[in-house]
Amino acid sequence: MRKFQLFILILVLLYSCNMNNENKEIVFSERFGFGKIVGKIENKTIKEASGLVESIENQNGLWTHNDGGDGPFLYFISNLDAKILKKISLVGIKNEDWEDLAIGPSILGDTSTYIYLGDIGDNKKNKTIKKIHFFKEPKIKEYENEIIEINDIKTINFYSEKKIENFETLMIDPNSRELFLIAKNKKKKQNIYKIITKNIQINKVQEAKKVLTLDLKNLKGEITGGEISRNGQECLIKTYSNILLWEKKIDDKWEKTWSQKPKVLKYIPESQGEAICWSKDGNAYFTLSENESSDEEQNLFKYLRN
């Protein structure tokens, strides 16, 4: 563990020096400290962690899932030590290319908390229609080994305006209840799309309309995840190299906020790190990486607000 921590420290120092040399216009923020290891995923059940959200209905836990190739499963892990506490199965749903999770209010008007699951990945860009599955967040009463089966699942089928995109980021604004998707692009510019959910008819194919092109300049795009905070005023977006923070004024729209320069937060580089989420109270955020190699530690990191 000491060797690993020393290795991480060296990476952080190199990363900081490199970032300072690359772009003097980048705004660094001390809003959050460096991440601390909460725990390690002890088995290979979750080896391609892609989405991550903290539970609203259950204490001290995070929901995550594997990228495409796993069954239709979500895993509930402890935010105290990263142990897997529960597994749920989405009956009748396939994991084609699951990329991200969002959690928040219902887009249909009821008072339940919903999990939104984006089957939105498309590396070859040949899938015209993509899917967002959503269902009520289950309340876990017992943590035995039995799998919880979810049968009541609704699905939004959508296409992206003008061209086919490969998405890895799904977010919900808890106030407007709009859904946002961000395309993953190897170029510096990343497109953001919006699905308006007011009076949505989920039996009809929806259009995700392009609202903004996000120019990350020297911040090395390829956006892999993000989440809007529970109060709807802050947004985290993650790339392979950086964690970015936008803060929204109460009366502004996200389109205006994202057009402004983000703050760059402290980040401990992870191997193929894609997953990020806010803590429930907004005073921290978590990151979790993939672990396709048995030689790499798959750590859950927690970054506390200063």
Domains of the chain: residue spans and CATH? 2-304 (2.120.10)
Reported confidence tier of residue 127, pLDDT bands at 50, 70, 90? very high
* Percent of the chain scoring above 90 in pLDDT: 74
One-letter identity of residue 72: P
Is a pLDDT exceeding 50 seen at residue 140? yes
The reported pLDDT for the residue numbered 25 is: 62
Give the model's pLDDT for residue 186.
78
* pLDDT at 146 (0 to 100): 82
Q: What is the mean pLDDT of residues 263-273?
A: 90
Report how far apart, in Å, the C-alpha atoms of 232 and of each of 192, 217, 220 are. Answer: 17, 26, 26
C-beta neighbour count of 210 within 10 angstroms = 17
**Res 145: pLDDT:** 73
Residue 98 has pLDDT above 90, yes or no: yes
User: Does residue 24 surpass a pLDDT of 90?
Assistant: no
Which amino acid is present at 274? E
Average of per-residue pLDDT across 166-172: 97
Is 290 or 60 the better-scoring residue by pLDDT? 60
Among the ranges given (132-141, 229-238, 262-271), the one the predictor scored with the smallest mean pLDDT: 262-271
Rounded distance between C-alpha atoms, residue 170 and residue 124, angstroms: 19
Could you report the per-residue pLDDT of 46-97, keeping only the tens digit for each? 988 999 999 999 999 999 999 877 899 999 999 999 999 999 999 999 999 9
Q: Where are the alpha helices (DSSP H) in 248-298?
A: 254-258
Provide mean pLDDT across the span 180-193.
89
Residue 21 banded pLDDT, cuts 50, 70, 90: very low
User: Taking residues 107-133, what's their average pLDDT?
Assistant: 96
Task: Please tell me the predicted confidence (pLDDT) of residue 4.
Answer: 52
At 1, is the pLDDT very low, low, confident or very high (cuts 50, 70, 90)? low
Strand partners, 116: 102, 134
pLDDT band at 223 (very low <50, low <70, confident <90, very high): very high
Give the pLDDT mean for 209-231. Answer: 88
Average pLDDT score over residue span 241-252: 95
Dihedral Cα 289, 291, 293, 296, nearest 10 deg: 60
User: 26 vs 149, which has greater pLDDT?
Assistant: 149
Q: What pLDDT, on the 0 to 100 scale, is given for residue 23?
A: 47
Could you tell me which residue, 29 or 8, shows the higher pLDDT? Answer: 29
Average pLDDT over residues 148-169: 96
CA angle 234, 8, 298 (to 5 degrees): 75
Confidence at residue 22, expressed as pLDDT on a 0 to 100 scale: 47
Average pLDDT, the chain: 90
Q: What is the pTM of this model?
A: 0.91
3-state secondary structure of 245: strand
Closest CA to 185 of 208, 203, 169: 169
Taking 50 as the threshold, does the pLDDT of residue 268 lie above it?
A: yes
